[in-house]
Structure 1
């Protein structure tokens, strides 16, 4: 019998009742003394299960991806002290990318806590592995609390969930002392939180602003749309695509918005920013009117000097976080709107008959942007001539042709992420995940496991560098145990490629810590030691001969891609330039002509 049917129950059982009530099917854990009673509660359930992992950091990253992909939110359980602190990198991933995740940590018994004794508050630690994790995580969670009264458990769980969902979403943490976990409570008499009602931002003069935006659009000659991650977070991909097709104007995305628009959409120019496409950057830098939806316009988008971003444009920026609209840093926002993307987009669509889109100037402007897209392809045909190694632009170009619109691709950070984001041609329905804001090495592989469990039968492709993969390589055992259909790609360029390029440009090719002092293991031997199938693609002929077999394998496997050690990211922004002037620099006359609007 599930404990949900009992009135008097253990706190540990009530916590699982709560998770089940929110649709949680899996909880990512690493067993430890301070959560042993919580984990034992799973033995009495059939409606929720735990996933045992090899590192708490991985658990947090799995839960993060679980929330990104699935209909419900992710959750973790970890023990006190080092178990709890190991969550921090994964919590940061959720914090910066606005992902709701519930982290439940065990804490030492209340009578072993230093703050239980007025005369011992200066003592660093009393209980074994006592750590004030709720205070440590205050700056990277929306709500972080140690439970001081077991009768508050219902209130605090519901409050944490509501806060994680409202406004700009994010992670929350509840810290539960061991001696509370085994207490019996009357669930009907627990202190309650009023509701889980989501709070939406309200703008003064919202309707007046909408009319002003429409009028500004109608009078513009070179309008453009920026699509950011807030579109996905607010579940407004459908509405946003309707808006793109209504306005019929050049559209660019940030990396977090990449999977919101099909690459074959005739209005899409591509991703913008420091590692964006020349065509997309020229579009934004020449636009006279911009609507940015769900993009916080950080310096990876604007370049290091935000005052140089879209200088010619009247800018309308929609962000659910008011603080993002106030940060400025030299970026002028003409109409800031504090709203989630879905509400704003619906407002525009309701007024669709007021837009003037059949305009010769706007049509000419769209054609100009399309010509830039043709003139500056990201994949040169010369790249295919490489014989000894695999050019990553070629690999991702070919991979994107072969994957289906139901597939999920999770990329780590580093040069391979940049090659992937610049090249991959998204099919609407695919998901492209990465921890874009925190961007730690080691995210993609555990996140792929979380994404797989949340999406059930979908194929998952994990993109890693040989350096980043080693951060959480231990989860190969988790993958083998769960037997999930995950294909792990490891791009091996024998060092941290993005840092090597930086060292070449700014440190006279002194490759400290990237070539010198750096090494990587034999991935074939490691993969086989875990009982997982290994493939290797060492040249372009292998792409033709082996990639289909890798994709069709449909079981846990690892495919190592051999990349030229000095492979560069092309194009990229050099320090001090605006985003229209990517390196390698274009001929000065050509650049001037492209910026002549």
Structure 2
């Protein structure tokens, strides 16, 4: 996880050294997280001597701690290999490095038996690695997509309400430069995935926000009004598109560009136009083909309409229902305050729960800020080690970790690493006395019966003031709005590591969100992506969309779609 944090901030390959057996097993969550988020990481795992490794699958173990890490890692890495001869060492390392850092990037594992670790080697001992040992090293993309790109440019030029959607795949310097050129030259509105929310400033006039089931209501409405959408460098996971792929941008001519042909196969049966190409190559060719401007009059009208939707549905009002009592601190208070004080080059790593759902919804990216989490796996415990790795990539930048009372418990040992290396991290712990997301789901689905989600149902957490003292952190408690800024500001300005406990309401909700509705007869109905909870009136939704809402929007409100007013 720390190697991931380093890679996410530096843009380089992160490297992790793990011991055999338990060490390799403990690294699997981080490896899978890197695989799902396409983060280039090289994992070197130790093992027993090469003699014992040759036929590992035939035995449970020769001795102790021996483990067939190669076989276990194969499904969750771009490549997993084992060195069985000193003559392979240089070539295996070269291959692993190339695999991690090219095409759709990701983790690679090289298993290194202990006897071969002592061998001397040189570049003259390289051997050719057979094709059978290569897994996913090069994407299976066609050599030329020029006809498809020409058609894409043609349709984009004819669109009245085009929308661009950028993901983490355009983070590379070349691709990002071309994405910005496309936006600025043609003034096309765009949205960003949560993995890419820091690629453009939040205040950019053409930035239409963050689509998703925990996204901006305005963004989702704009998406469903568009007549052309071009998705570049995003795999469009369920948290982004909702539960019905056919309904995503249902009024639009839909295009998706991805370097991974297998990833694109998800859209084969859903009337999508797919192009297998790297983001930088595609955008470069698109800009070449887009020789005339999109419809300037209709585009200007579309931008004005989209901005008007944002004025009607500002982010600040959308979170109102989540806040609850005006006297209690909630996580949105913290994010709003951070938006006003964070450095323009700050690094923010978040963990699952309030840190992720509040931070990635409401943090207003600016300057060269880097905001990240484990998106694909969403494992509890990522935030702290991810932030540590990010610090070593760029030690001079302000470092923030948004964590929770539940998630911090998964990697407490890393607090000592922060203290040992004198990392001036500001560690926020949102304390809501339990696993709030689990509790909310249990309350909604099981008639308020809860288990293992708060102090009254089987779990509890330590005093974080004692935890801070134990590890030598400065400590700051925020438990009231009256002392909010006076407590937070000096904590953020401290040159030391500070544990900042945010004592929240245990009943705070995370809104807006796409919520399944339970009808009177027990039937569950999933509304479309634009119809987030808390729901607005069906008339307001119709006015925003400019057309009749989805049938499930009526069903979710207990209304008859057949009796709608067209």
Is TM more than 0.5 here? Answer: yes
| Matches of 1:274 and 1:284, distance apart in 2 | 13
Quote how far apart the aligned CAs of 1:313 are. 0.4
In the TM superposition, what is the alpha-carbon distance from 1:531 to its structure 2 partner? Answer: 0.9
Structure 2 SS opposite 1:297: coil
Residue 364 of structure 1 is matched in structure 2 by 301
Where 1:574 maps in the other structure, the secondary structure is coil
Which string of whole-angstrom CA distances, capped at 9 and with x for unpartnered residues, describes residues 449-489 of structure 1? 00000112111100111100111011110000001121111
Do the aligned residues in 2 keep the contact of 1:319 with 1:341 (CA within 8 Å)? yes
1:510 aligns with 449
Matched, 1:107 2:47: yes
SS across alignment from 1:540: coil
Q: Compute the displacement of 1:98 (Å).
A: 0.5
Would you say 1:179 and 2:115 are equivalent positions? Answer: yes
Q: Aligned to 2:316, what secondary structure does the other structure show?
A: coil
Task: Report the Cα distance in structure 2 between the residues aligned to 1:446 and 1:171, rounded to whole angstroms.
Answer: 17
5 Å matches for 1:373-522? 373-380=310-317, 386-515=325-454, 516-522=457-463
Please, which of 272, 280, 293 is the counterpart of residue 342 of structure 1? 280
CA distance 1:546–1:353, shift in 2 (3 Å): farther
* SS in structure 1 of the partner of residue 55 of structure 2: helix
Distance 1:347 1:592 in 2: 38
| Alignment-derived partner of residue 302 in structure 1 | 241
The residue number in structure 2 matching 1:25 is: none
1:584 to 531, 534, 548: 534
SS at match of 2:62: coil
From 200, 210, 215, the counterpart of 1:276:
215
- Secondary structure class of the residue paired with 1:363: helix
Q: CA deviation digits over 1:280-326, x for unaligned, max 9?
A: 00011111100111111111111111111111100111111111111
Distance in structure 1 (CA, Å) of the matches to 2:329 and 2:458: 25
Indicate if the aligned counterparts of 1:109 and 1:127 stay in contact, CA closer than 8 A: no
Distance in 1 (alpha carbons) for counterparts of 2:296 and 2:122: 65
CA distance in 2, matches of 1:315, 1:199: 26
State how 1:129-140 maps to structure 2 within 5 Å. Answer: 129-140=65-76
Contact 2:479 2:503 in 1 (8 A): yes
Whole-angstrom CA distance in 2 between matches of 1:239 and 1:551: 36
Distance 2:48 2:138 in 1: 35
Provide, for residues 142-169 of structure 1, a one-character-per-residue CA deviation record: whole Å limited to 9, x for no partner.
1111111111001100011111122111
CA gap 1:209/1:370 in 2 versus in 1, 3 angstroms: same
Query: What is residue 82 of structure 1 aligned with on the other side?
Result: 22
Helix, strand or coil for the counterpart of 1:327?
helix
Q: Provide Cα deviations, 1:345-365, integer angstroms capped at 9, x if missing partner.
A: 222333454222522x22222
Give the alignment of 1:163-178 within 5 angstroms.
163-178=99-114
CA distance in structure 1 between the partners assigned to 2:444 and 2:269 by the alignment: 27
Query: Aligned residue pairs: how many?
Result: 529
Structure 2: segments with no counterpart, 5+ residues? 517-525, 548-566
Please, what is the CA RMSD of the aligned residues?
A: 2.2
Question: Are the aligned partners of 1:234 and 1:341 in contact in 2 as well (CA < 8 Å)?
Answer: no
SS of 2:483's partner is: helix
How far apart in 2 are the matches of 1:160 and 1:385? 51
Question: For residues 309 and 71 of structure 1, do their structure 2 counterparts lie closer, same or farther at Cα, with a shift above 3 Å needed?
Answer: closer
- Deviations 1:50-71 (Å, cap 9, x if unpaired)? xxxxxxxxxxx00011111114
- Alpha-carbon deviation of 1:330? 5.7
- Is 1:534 matched up with 2:470? no
Measured in 2, the distance between the counterparts of 1:159 and 1:68 equals 21
Q: Which moved more, 1:587-596 or 1:126-135?
A: 587-596
User: Is 1:525 aligned to residue 466 of structure 2?
Assistant: yes
* Partner residue, 2:560: none
| Deviation per residue, 1:370-401 (Å, 9 max, x gap) | 12212122223968894542121222112112
Counterpart Cα distance in 1 of 2:285 and 2:205: 24
Q: CA offset at residue 233 of structure 1?
A: 4.8
User: Residue by residue, what CA displacement relative to the aligned partner does 1:392-450 show, whole Å, maximum 9, x if unpaired?
Assistant: 12221121121122111001112331111111111031111111011100001011000
CA–CA distance in 1 between the matches of 2:488 and 2:31?
35
Deviations 1:190-237 (A, max 9, x none): 43679x9x9677546522222222221222111111111111156522
Structure 1 residue 506, shift from structure 2 partner: 1.4
> What are the residue-to-residue correspondences of 1:155-304 with 2, within 5 Å?
155-191=91-127, 203=142, 206-233=145-172, 236-304=175-243
Q: In structure 1, how many angstroms separate the alpha carbons of the residues matched to 2:268 and 2:424?
A: 45
Runs of 5+ unmatched residues, structure 1: 1-60
d(CA) in 1 for partners of 2:385, 2:377: 15
- TM-score, normalised with respect to structure 2: 0.89
Q: Residue 160 and residue 152 in structure 1: after superposition, are their counterparts in 2 closer, same or farther (change >3 A)?
A: same
